[in-house]
Amino acid sequence: MGFSNDIIFQGVIDYLMDEMDYLDITVNLWIKCMTLYELDGGKVTLLCDNDFKRNLFMSKYIRDVTKAFMVELDRKDIDITVITKPELEERQKKAKEKEEKERKEAELAAKRREELPMVNPAYTFENFVVGSSNRVAYETSLLVCRNPAEYYNPLFLYGPSGLGKTHLLFAIINEILDKRPDFNVVYITCEEFTNLLIDSISKKTDPTEFRSKFRNLDFLLVDDIQFLKGKRAVQEEMFHTFEALFNKGKQIVFASDKHPSEIEDIDKRLSSRFSAGGLIDIEPPDTELRQAIFKRKADSYGVEIPNDVLLFLAENIKTNIRQIEGAIKTLKAHSLIGGEEISFAMAKRVLSEYLKKAEADNINSEKILKYISMRCGVKKEDITGAKRDAAIKNARHICAYLMRDMLNMTFKEIGTILRRHHSTIMDSCERIENQIKTSETFRREMEEIKRELEA
């Protein structure tokens, strides 16, 4: 409505009377009883009392009034809609109800957020960079978030520390808080669960309160479940909590640094439940994914990092994504304080402390030899010696492969250390690569060895 709409509509009426010879009586009866309710470009909405008046207007006057609007507004795309007062009231009522509903939802969401202070709102699905090593984890998390208790229950996410498990749990929660604020979602770490249980057993708090909190909810996420190791009473409680929720058709998500079978000293019933829904792993990211994560993190910190620096970082920071954030922050701080632009040379210098100096001191061929000899239970001298026992040969193959893979050494260089012809080294590397391709257990073992070496 409003003042300018009135003026425009008056202009339309004047046009009808002056240029189209409308009579006073017609205008008074059929046109002036309307108001120009809304004007949006060429979209005109007129308001009238009732259906009868609208029908008459539509059959007799719409063409002329459209023409008058075209002249008055000086545009050709006039499209008139007429609404009646009862329709408007209905519309307003609906808008109000919607607003009210949204307000209530926002209030509820805010309250829920307050109950989940640890959940970082920035850890969303959008902010999670997806690559081949974490795609399945990402997709299943999204799936259980959108279809609770339908596909994977429980969902058990596992993988080494710092690869985004907690991020995915928070992403699930953030999406639920956004889209389903009526949903009672609870996040807890295994340690907090333990503490609360101890409090309730030692009667510091009401024990029924503990149970009712964990058994009357819609969606439970338990982080760092590997800490259940050895805690029988906690395991027992977790098991019953799980059963209660599962039987009510509620979704449960666990995250763990370890595969269920690797969590020692744990109730068989519980670990079989862990594996019964969806057992999904996250693997260390490849260079490409690390680079993408670096890029994303840099963007989110408002830091511009040239591509060669991104690649340098991705090649040097390998195991843990948490370090990626640290590296970006370090770079940002240095460029802010020193006023120096982030360049390859600058990054190299600043991060030399920060980085795992792989080639320099941390991992070298000697370290690989020592570690593998220990792990395979063969003497170091035998690996570089002439013996041809199966165990020794195997250790030799692994060493060759690791030197190639982790240190980027040439076959020749490796040959010098292991005292073999370079074609033999090539054979060894190929052998291990094939084994990695054909055996999942072997592949995991190799990954573990690399992590240990990098630690």
Q: Which amino acid is at 36?
A: L
167 binds ligand ADP (CB under 6 A): yes
Whole-angstrom CA distances from 444 to 427, 435, 440 are 21, 11, 6
Residue 163: contacted member of ligand ADP, Mg ion, none (CB under 5 to 8 Å, by partner type): ligand ADP
Q: How far is the CB of 158 from Mg ion (least distance, A)?
A: 11
CA 136 – CA 142 distance, rounded (Å): 10
Q: How far is the CB of 286 from ligand ADP (least distance, A)?
A: 12
Q: Kindly tell me which residue out of 141, 166, 251, 394 binds ligand ADP, with binding defined by CB under 6 A.
A: 166
373 binds Mg ion (CB under 5 A): no
403-410 own/partner pairs: CB under 8 Å, 24+ apart: 403/365, 403/368, 404/429, 405/450, 406/358, 406/363, 406/368, 406/450, 406/453, 407/358, 407/359, 407/363, 407/364, 407/365, 407/368, 409/365
Q: How far is the CB of 163 from ligand ADP (least distance, A)?
A: 5
Q: Kindly tell me which residue out of 69, 134, 187, 335 binds ligand ADP, with binding defined by CB under 6 A.
A: 134
Identify any residues that bridge with 155 across adjacent strands, giving them in sequence order. Answer: 253, 278
Question: Which one, 279 or 403, has the nearer CB to ligand ADP?
Answer: 279
128 binds ligand ADP (CB under 6 A): yes
Q: Show Cβ contacts of residue 160 under 8 Å, excluding neighbours closer than 6 positions.
A: 257, 282, 284, 319, 320, 451
CA 140 – CA 46 distance, rounded (Å): 51
284 binds ligand ADP (CB under 6 A): no
Q: How far is the CB of 129 from ligand ADP (least distance, A)?
A: 4
Question: Which one, 283 or 382, has the nearer CB to Mg ion?
Answer: 283
Question: Which one, 145 or 429, has the nearer CB to ligand ADP?
Answer: 145
Q: How far is the CB of 348 from ligand ADP (least distance, A)?
A: 23
Q: How far is the CB of 294 from Mg ion (least distance, A)?
A: 20
Number of chain residues interacting with ligand ADP (CB under 6 A):
16
Q: How far is the CB of 171 from Mg ion (least distance, A)?
A: 13
CA angle at residue 262 from 260 to 263, to 5 degrees? Answer: 70
Residue 424, burial from CB neighbour count under 10 angstroms (0-12, 13-18, 19+): middle
Q: Kindly tell me which residue out of 28, 50, 161, 362 binds ligand ADP, with binding defined by CB under 6 A.
A: 161
Q: Kindly tell me which residue out of 69, 123, 246, 254 binds ligand ADP, with binding defined by CB under 6 A.
A: 123
Identify any residues that bridge with 338 across adjacent strands, giving them in sequence order. Answer: none
Q: If you ran DSSP here, which 8-state letter would residue 273 be given?
A: H
Is residue 167 a contact partner of residue 290, using CB atoms and an 8 Å limit?
no
Residue corresponding to tokens 């594996």: 275
Residues 314-333 that bind ligand ADP (CB under 6 A): 321-322, 325
Q: Select the span of 67-75, 120-128, 242-250, 354-362 touching ligand ADP (CB under 6 A).
A: 120-128
226 binds ligand ADP (CB under 6 A): no
Question: Which one, 258 or 367, has the nearer CB to ligand ADP?
Answer: 258
Which H or E run contains 205?
A: none
Residue 415: contacted member of ligand ADP, Mg ion, none (CB under 5 to 8 Å, by partner type): none
Alpha helices in 248-286 (DSSP H): 268-274
Q: How far is the CB of 293 from ligand ADP (least distance, A)?
A: 5
Question: Which one, 47 or 255, has the nearer CB to ligand ADP?
Answer: 255
Alpha helices in 248-316 (DSSP H): 268-274, 287-300, 307-316
Residues 149-188 that bind Mg ion (CB under 5 A): 165-166
Strand order in the sheet with 43-48: 35-40, 43-48, 79-84
Q: Show Cβ contacts of residue 113 under 8 Å, excluding neighbours closer than 6 positions.
A: 119, 121, 177
Residues near ligand ADP (CB under 6 A) are: 123, 127-129, 134, 161-167, 293, 321-322, 325
Residues near Mg ion (CB under 5 A) are: 165-166
